[in-house]
Structure 1
Amino acid sequence: MFGFFAIFSILCCLVSYGESARILGVFPISSGSHYILDYKLMKGLADAGHDVTMITPYSQEKPPKTKGNYSEIILEGFRERISEQHKSMDLFDMGKQNMLRVMSTMISMFGTNMNNTLHDPKVRALLNSNEKFDAVIIEHFMADAMKIFPVVLNCPLILLFSLGPNSWINPTVGNPQEISYSRHLFDRGNNAVPMTFFERIINLFYHLFEYLYNQFLYFPMCNEVLQKAFPGAPDAKVLFKNASLVLLNSHTSLYPAHPLVPNMVEIGGYHVDPPKKLPKDLQEFLDNAKDGAIYFSMGSNLKSKLMPAERKKMILNVLGRLKQKVIWKFEEELPGKPDNVLIKNWLPQQDILAHPNIKLFITHGGLLSTTETVYHGVPILAIPVFGDQPGNAEKAQYAGYALKLGYHDDNFTEENFEQYILELLNNPKYRENAQRRSRLFHDRPMKPMDTAVYWVEYVIRNNGAKHLRVAGADQAWYEYYLVDVSLFLLACLVVVFEISKFVLKKVFLVVKSKLSPKQKLKTK
């Protein structure tokens, strides 16, 4: 009997090994939150038994223990260059910048990033090595020049998108653009309520601006980068729509319901791990929080230490008056810190949110933080600054588990900051709504990571799964929206109208000419 099980186990291992795929991940973005998503996906695929190679500016101090193989190609100097750029930028100021300035900054930064990646010696060596891969995964975030990898390696392209469905990702696979009821990412209005007539007009102009910006600035920049690295490379507009699958970092517990084409799959929350034991000092701090505790973090990119001195003082004044204990992710020592406030420059956010004494999460409203708070059912006070943060905050507030107090809002005062915190702490509806959202988040047929692994394997098994691609993905915008048909029908109506007008005019003249003699007789 033992021999039978031994043979069975060996056969299972052989089958598993035989089905493993070689997967290349291309992730040159030097940002902490993006790296979390990128690494978690690639590690999940390696855990599933696949042979994974990840191109990244980051490296793991300890190689992860996985069922399959995990290796890295480190982009040297990338983190240092981006760090220098961040030092010259005030990310807290970005929320006040207009759409044109933000996109101009991004196009310059990511254009340099793409160019450096394609000319990196280790990357060039890989592309020239004749190595075979079954799929390439790229994060779709101003990295369209990276889509040359599946062309060179002759394999399917899978896109990871750090947000939910929107105008940045929808055209790649022909997903419907819900301009009439879904606000553009840069629209700072209330993202969760129906738009008025004039708001829909403004929303249309946001989408038109983005389309023109891409056509005349972004895609030409990508083509310039591509032609320098790979003379004769396909046009960036062609590569843009070369995706076999899109993995969205969203879920209907976090986003309003949206239509999704068959090769667009939601895996929001796949990066969240089961809670681990906290370090001793944090565990004791939270265990002793008899009146509960508040966790405060502005994410990995925004540095709280860069807040103006008066803003930091105002926040400390409010936190010091609370009976709850507070853990604040802050990057340096903070003079005048109240006794109930614990300061640390790094914190295990997911594990802290899992502690039963956490009553409130004060956050910038980034999607990863919002996802983690919904996972654990903790209400939030969102202080959005830029990017997708205002929209995430609006959605959370509309869902009833958050209040929004924009960092640049005129009503961000000491009095309002305290009032919002007390409302969230003392009104049970926010926690009840957070718990309800958490139940929706967990109520799925498969775990998010299992969903991601299944669909990646599905695309590989089915040689790119072209049968999932909708025809609209390959249509020009004027064909997709029937602009050409509408203009043709309008022209037909004009022609019919003019012909009818001409015919009626002739008939009228004939009738008039025949009636004229009789009219004359009657007058006599």
Structure 2
Amino acid sequence: MKLLVLMSLVYLLGSTEALKVLVLFPYAVKSLSILGTGAVRHLLNAGHEVTYITVYPLKDPPTKNFRQIDISKNAELFKNDDSLTIGYVLEHQVQRTDPLQIQLVTQESARLTFENENVKKLIEDPNEHFDVVIVDLVETETFAGLAVLYDCPMIWLYSMGAHWQPLRLIDRATNPAYDPDYLSPAKNPLSFLERVDELWTRIKWQYRKTFIIQPEERKIYEDTFGPLLEKRGRTLPDYEEVIFNASLIFGNEHDAVRDRPSTPQNFKFIGGLHVEEPVKPLPKEFQDLIDNSKHGVIYFSMGSFLQSNSLPKPLVAELLRMFGGLKQTVIWKFETDLPDVPKNVHIVHWAPQQSILAHPNVRTFITHGGLLSSIEAVHFGMPIIGVPVFFDQFTNIKKAVENGYALTVPLSHNLPKDLKAAIDVMLKDDTYRKKAKELSSIYHDRLTKPGVKFTHWVEHVVRTRGARHLRSPAWRVPLYQRLYLDLIALVLASVYLFFYIVSRLFKKTPKKTDKKKRN
């Protein structure tokens, strides 16, 4: 009987009451939705009830504890936008994405999300409630209003790693002398000119955010949530107060990354959250193809957002000829069928990327360098050849090169020739594969899997009503106190007063002259 009681107590202590979780991934970027789907999967596996607002509804959704809200209309924001294609970047030689453009796009995504009929139906229902809100963080904090509406903790899920932009929401921004912008091509240690450039980039970003973006974000926040809270008999908090009130930020990065800035307790790394374990078996056609490739396989994919079919046709033809001259089997994820494809090249519209990278017969991975693909390469110990196009891809590939398991090839009309040279080096020099395996071992050497860590901290935030004990004290300290401007002012005032008093004490008074009497 005592044993039964003890086991019951252990069970009760170890169990967690099912939570009602709202997960929102509002951006029409497929790779971001993959991360969101991974978060949903782990929450469902932990027994929680999930409402998932997504641009890419699941085709075969779970039947238990799951509801998805379709906001696929948000994809119209990128419809017919040629500037986001590989072909446009190639022809115009775009080297760096403009942060203002990203801010405007994310701001408009927020507007479209709150105007969506499916979302309006959800947030206007006074009977809806959630224990925690988890939102994809990309340049706008407008969605923090959802946590206000449901009076619950707010958690951001950031698709990249730790750097000053997300950290400023829960701590104080790190120093630009060693923490480059996530769109920056610079790497540590920074030169004098690079440090100046990073400082100027940050000042420019803050100016645009404060005077151009944030006033409109505030308007969206007030127009959306003001009437909703008024109907509930509550007062809408100030926008500035809300955006800095997150309980936690999850960063999609892992412990094997070098030159990572220090982070507060409420910034948690869950890189690899989207990777399914165990890996799904390969479909038979892929399994047979890779198994029977005598000289190994080269896998080529530019991700889920970028479309390889936007490349100029002559360049595609040259790439096919170059691949056709290799001994290896080449699997190229291409969105349309191609004519005159060499026998060793296999064009696929869709590829089970994780399952392919897990196969020991795959020799190298040619990638655009998106963070999800970069993490998968580390997870499976796969050397890569990076062809970055925009956004954070340049930074990710630079980090991979610094870690010794990658080569980089610029996107240009010389791509076939440059890519062939990189493939030859990668296949002949086994150092890259060894470095990839070494980094993979560091990546896997952690106490818990990212999915377990993710669900634990979500539950912890709810159990502790916002996990205020994890928050950094720095975000409550005004700028003048952090920079000791009050002390400097006191010292300067004291010095001035001292010299003023001394000057008054020792100031020479004019001597009186005696008047001589005249006879």
TM over 0.5: yes
Residue in 1 that maps onto 2:515? none
- Scaled by the length of structure 1, the TM-score of the pair is 0.87
Residue 234 of structure 1 deviates from its aligned partner by 3.8
Residue in 2 that maps onto 1:521? none
Q: Secondary structure at the match of 2:67?
A: strand
Percent sequence identity over aligned pairs = 33
Q: Secondary structure at the match of 2:164?
A: coil
The 1:336–1:11 alpha-carbon spacing in structure 2 relative to 1, beyond 3 Å, is farther
Residue in 1 that maps onto 2:184? 187
Task: Report 1:164-179 matches (<5 A).
Answer: 164-179=161-176
Residue in 1 that maps onto 2:155? 158
- Counterpart pick for 1:59 among 48, 57, 65: 57
- Scaled by the length of structure 2, the TM-score of the pair is 0.88
Task: Report 1:362-511 matches (<5 A).
Answer: 362-408=366-412, 412-480=414-482, 482=483, 484-485=485-486, 488=489, 491-492=492-493, 495=496, 499=500, 502=503, 506=506
Residue in 2 that maps onto 1:518? none
Q: Secondary structure at the match of 1:381?
A: strand
Task: Report 1:68-467 matches (<5 A).
Answer: 69-75=65-71, 77-79=73-75, 81-86=76-81, 89-90=84-85, 92-93=87-88, 96-97=93-94, 102-127=98-123, 128-189=125-186, 191=187, 193-231=188-226, 233-273=236-276, 274-408=278-412, 412-467=414-469
Residue 176 of structure 1 deviates from its aligned partner by 4.7
Residue in 1 that maps onto 2:231? none
Residue 333 of structure 1 deviates from its aligned partner by 1.5
| CA contact 2:82–2:88 (8 Å) conserved in 1 | no
Q: Secondary structure at the match of 1:360?
A: strand
For 1:163-190, what per-residue CA distance to the aligned partner results, in whole angstroms no more than 9, with x for missing partners?
001122011100551311121122223x
For 1:292-311, what per-residue CA distance to the aligned partner results, in whole angstroms no more than 9, with x for missing partners?
11000000111111012333
For 1:390-418, what per-residue CA distance to the aligned partner results, in whole angstroms no more than 9, with x for missing partners?
0000000000000111215x9x5543321
For 1:125-183, what per-residue CA distance to the aligned partner results, in whole angstroms no more than 9, with x for missing partners?
32232322111111111342111101011000011000001122011100551311121
Q: Secondary structure at the match of 2:157?
A: strand
Residue in 1 that maps onto 2:516? none
| CA contact 1:23–1:52 (8 Å) conserved in 2 | yes
| CA contact 1:314–1:414 (8 Å) conserved in 2 | yes
Q: Secondary structure at the match of 2:103?
A: helix
Tell me the distance in 1 between the aligned counterparts of 2:303 and 2:206: 30
Tell me the distance in 2 between the aligned counterparts of 1:403 and 1:77: 38
For 1:7-64, what per-residue CA distance to the aligned partner results, in whole angstroms no more than 9, with x for missing partners?
9999999888861111111221121101011111022111101111111122222222
Q: Secondary structure at the match of 2:126?
A: coil
Structure 1's unaligned 5+ residue stretches are 514-524
Q: Secondary structure at the match of 2:250?
A: strand
Tell me the distance in 2 between the aligned counterparts of 1:500 and 1:420: 74
The 1:330–1:98 alpha-carbon spacing in structure 2 relative to 1, beyond 3 Å, is closer
Tell me the distance in 2 between the aligned counterparts of 1:137 and 1:452: 11
| CA contact 1:110–1:143 (8 Å) conserved in 2 | yes
Residue 483 of structure 1 deviates from its aligned partner by 6.3
Which moves more between the two structures, 166-175 or 17-26? 17-26
Structure 2's unaligned 5+ residue stretches are 227-234, 512-519
Residue 89 of structure 1 deviates from its aligned partner by 4.3
Q: Secondary structure at the match of 1:173?
A: coil
Q: Secondary structure at the match of 2:98?
A: helix
The 1:351–1:403 alpha-carbon spacing in structure 2 relative to 1, beyond 3 Å, is same
Q: Secondary structure at the match of 2:332?
A: strand
Tell me the distance in 1 between the aligned counterparts of 2:504 and 2:139: 58
Residue in 2 that maps onto 1:35? 33
AA at the equivalent of 1:459? V
The 1:356–1:501 alpha-carbon spacing in structure 2 relative to 1, beyond 3 Å, is farther
**How many pairs are equivalent?**
497
The 1:346–1:207 alpha-carbon spacing in structure 2 relative to 1, beyond 3 Å, is same
Residue 243 of structure 1 deviates from its aligned partner by 0.3
| CA contact 1:27–1:138 (8 Å) conserved in 2 | yes
AA at the equivalent of 1:312? V
| CA contact 1:364–1:389 (8 Å) conserved in 2 | yes
The 1:286–1:115 alpha-carbon spacing in structure 2 relative to 1, beyond 3 Å, is same
For 1:233-292, what per-residue CA distance to the aligned partner results, in whole angstroms no more than 9, with x for missing partners?
444333221100111100121353321101110000011112222112211111111111
